[in-house]
Structure 1
Amino acid sequence: MENKKGGDLICRRPETIVEARFSLTKKQNDVLDMVFASIENDDNLRYEIDISKYAKLYNIQDKSNIYGDVKKTVRTFEGKGFSVTQKISEKKENRIYFAWFSSINYLGGEGKIIIELGQTLKKLLLSAKKACFYQIKYPINFTNIYSKRIYYYLKSFEDTGWRVDNLDSLRSKLECPKSYNRYADFRKHVLTPAFEEINGESDILFKYEELKTKRKVTGIKFYVKTNKPKTPNKDSIKFPVETAEEEVSATLIESEEENLIKKIMFIMQDSNITALEAKKIIDTANGDIDIIKEKYHIVSQIKKVGSVVATMIDAIKNDYQAPKGKANVAKGSFNDYEQRAYDFDELEKKLLGWDH
């Protein structure tokens, strides 16, 4: 077994668990992360978890409810478990069911959890040949359950940089409801929230490609790379200084603004804009990321652009609209390019860097 890297706030989640099919809520996954961060390669089956160590990781002002939420969540593990399929031969498989814990108890007044693992389960967790390591502070702050589940999947493939999933199999692993069988709903409620949260609030960046069979999406190819978020301090963002008026004091940049800048730079990655240029666009749009996406849809279709940033700012200020059909336009104007019908699915893929 590999040892946990970086201390007890680093979680080791075995690939066996990452790939297993089970339904846990966001809060249940939080508790499970605390458990995985506590398990050691020792003879113990019983572990004590101090909630105070993890409470400080939540990015919320009022943390008074955390202990009560954990206490309620502990009770919900009754009768919860998961199954693992082990391949014996090409035609034979073993399916084993595990209860998560032999016992789990919240110590009222102490803010601690006492968990006891079954011996076979612990052996399974420790013997996994592959596992992903991550800082708990990232998934513990995701608000969408699918962000957490996709994050675990992608972290396990961070070293290879990509993974491919059959769409039906992916929906099953993520425990999606039947209403998400329609791809548009799956993308809206699963992929889009995960894309926004993981790329903006974690240590990895990802994009995805829709794999089609006869024009129908039947698979997803994920591309993932390491991101190194920086703590907000005077060096957190390096802005190029063009003139004295344009110099931005990094000490005034708050974490929320920094994340928004990262999102815009990722959205416009084909244009290789700087952090300062991203900030100018954000300021022009009054921080409205939807307006920025909309105008970039349009600007990205212009055949010849002297300055993408200047055009984006002008598009936001003057509310450029996507052209419909062919029209006679004046030479030299924004609309001085071939008009055509828009395939907004393809545009979105281009916007987010998914076209290959």
Structure 2
Amino acid sequence: MEQSSYLTVVKSNKVVEASYMLTLAEQRVLLACIAQIDSKAVLTENYRFEVTASGVADLVGLDNLSNAYRDLKKAAEKLYERSVVIDDPDLENPQITQRKTRWISAIDYVPGEGKLVLSFSLGIIPYLSQLSREFTKYKLKHVARFESVYSIRLYELLVQWNSAGEREIEVEWLKRQFQVDEKYDRVVDLKKRVIDPAVEEINQHSNIWVKYGQRKSGRTITHFQFQFGLKDKPQSLEKKHLSEEEINRQARPGETRATVIARLTGTSLSEIAKPGETFDQALQRKNSLAEAKKKLR
């Protein structure tokens, strides 16, 4: 399968928020296969997906094809054993609180052709096909250059809430879903090894920008607070008009009108808006500050 076949990844939100651990090579193989699925069509366990070393190398920009062959072979060795744990998997049967399933049911490695051929398991298929609601969709090219599995996982968690532009994630929940709860006892180590490299890669290689802060309970950091948006999203409200009804509906407790508009349009005014200030006033003050800085240079 050539790179042109690797287009869009669509996953049920249940899988986006599931608990699992994959190597980077394994993640790339699975995403390359998922990107070949018509998410609205029927998928059976008999359908066979192909991933080639040359296709993955083109996708991720590997100059050394031997490394692509090596990574594909490594993925073939362990991928069959990998599993995923899905919380509350069946909305129609709330008594089932957790489901554990393999990602794939069969895998073949063809060394002479540098190719993997695999089938998804029956347990995971409902979360990859015939999706009509509660799913996350993104272009595979936006995560193709990531070098960390955590970058891919964090990116998915953010674009799942793309329309909000903000997401607060509990530290302990994130550690469980990323399966690093026994690896990083200290939040400072989690940030250094997982969060900071992921944020850096997302900002460098993907179609969104992201920054984050943290919320404490006493002296303990309990949540990460992410802000994010499309890099090419218009930053001026002049290009996006919001009705008063929409502003009032989207307003959060304690937010000024200026803050609401800034958040919904992706501008940075939410950081400088003053209580009671209108959006136009905040924008004018920001522009005035910018002009004053220019004169001081």
Unaligned runs of 5+ in 1: 1-5, 230-269, 272-304, 312-356
Work out whether 1:30 is the aligned partner of 2:28. yes
Q: Aligned letter for 1:109?
A: G
Q: State the alpha-carbon separation in 1 of the partners of residues 51 and 137 from structure 2.
A: 20
Secondary structure of the corresponding residue to residue 187 of structure 1: helix
Q: State the alpha-carbon separation in 1 of the partners of residues 27 and 68 from structure 2.
A: 14
Q: State the alpha-carbon separation in 2 of the partners of residues 62 and 79 from structure 1.
A: 28
Alignment of 1:11-160 (within 5 A): 11-40=9-38, 41-45=41-45, 46-51=47-52, 52-86=54-88, 92-128=95-131, 129-160=133-164
Larger radius of gyration: 1
Q: State the alpha-carbon separation in 2 of the partners of residues 176 and 48 from structure 1.
A: 30
Alignment of 1:266-281 (within 5 A): none
Q: Aligned letter for 1:158?
A: N
Q: For 1:212-250, what per-residue CA distance to the aligned partner results, in whole angstroms no more than 9, with x for missing partners?
A: 112431111212211249xxxxxxxxxxxxxxxxxxxxx
Q: For 1:140-163, what per-residue CA distance to the aligned partner results, in whole angstroms no more than 9, with x for missing partners?
A: 321223212211211211122222
Q: For 1:164-219, what per-residue CA distance to the aligned partner results, in whole angstroms no more than 9, with x for missing partners?
A: 21111112112225352212212222221112111111111111221111243111
Work out whether 1:176 is the aligned partner of 2:163. no
Contact 2:43 / 2:125 at 8 angstroms: preserved in 1? no
Number of residue pairs matched?
A: 238
Secondary structure of the corresponding residue to residue 160 of structure 1: coil
Contact 1:50 / 1:113 at 8 angstroms: preserved in 2? yes
Q: State the alpha-carbon separation in 2 of the partners of residues 218 and 112 from structure 1.
A: 44
The verdict on how the C-alpha distance between 1:126 and 1:90 changes in structure 2, with shifts beyond 3 A counting, is closer
Q: State the alpha-carbon separation in 2 of the partners of residues 130 and 124 from structure 1.
A: 10
Q: How many angstroms does 1:309 deviate by?
A: 11
Contact 1:12 / 1:37 at 8 angstroms: preserved in 2? yes
Secondary structure of the corresponding residue to residue 141 of structure 1: coil
Q: State the alpha-carbon separation in 2 of the partners of residues 55 and 162 from structure 1.
A: 33
Q: Aligned letter for 1:100?
A: W
Q: How many angstroms does 1:70 deviate by?
A: 0.7
Q: State the alpha-carbon separation in 1 of the partners of residues 15 and 204 from structure 2.
A: 25
Q: Aligned letter for 2:21?
A: S
Contact 1:48 / 1:112 at 8 angstroms: preserved in 2? no
Alignment of 1:232-243 (within 5 A): none
Percent of aligned pairs with the same residue? 25
Q: State the alpha-carbon separation in 1 of the partners of residues 78 and 296 from structure 2.
A: 54
Contact 2:32 / 2:51 at 8 angstroms: preserved in 1? no
Q: Aligned letter for 2:115?
A: K
Q: How many angstroms does 1:133 deviate by?
A: 2.1
Q: Aligned letter for 2:30?
A: L
Q: Aligned letter for 1:63?
A: L
Contact 1:26 / 1:148 at 8 angstroms: preserved in 2? no
State TM-score, norm by structure 2.
Answer: 0.69
Residue number in structure 2 paired with 1:275: none
Q: How many angstroms does 1:21 deviate by?
A: 0.3
Deviates more, 1:6-15 or 1:143-152: 6-15
Secondary structure of the corresponding residue to residue 33 of structure 2: helix
Contact 2:42 / 2:130 at 8 angstroms: preserved in 1? no
Contact 1:39 / 1:47 at 8 angstroms: preserved in 2? no
Residue number in structure 2 paired with 1:346: none
Secondary structure of the corresponding residue to residue 126 of structure 1: coil
Contact 1:38 / 1:47 at 8 angstroms: preserved in 2? no
Q: State the alpha-carbon separation in 2 of the partners of residues 7 and 76 from structure 1.
A: 24
Q: How many angstroms does 1:61 deviate by?
A: 2.5
Secondary structure of the corresponding residue to residue 56 of structure 1: helix
Q: State the alpha-carbon separation in 1 of the partners of residues 195 and 99 from structure 2.
A: 30
Contact 1:22 / 1:82 at 8 angstroms: preserved in 2? yes
State TM-score, norm by structure 1.
Answer: 0.59
Quick one: higher RCO (CA 8 Å, sep 6+), 1 or 2?
2
Contact 2:57 / 2:63 at 8 angstroms: preserved in 1? no
Q: How many angstroms does 1:90 deviate by?
A: 11
The verdict on how the C-alpha distance between 1:65 and 1:95 changes in structure 2, with shifts beyond 3 A counting, is same
Residue number in structure 2 paired with 1:289: none
The verdict on how the C-alpha distance between 1:308 and 1:184 changes in structure 2, with shifts beyond 3 A counting, is farther
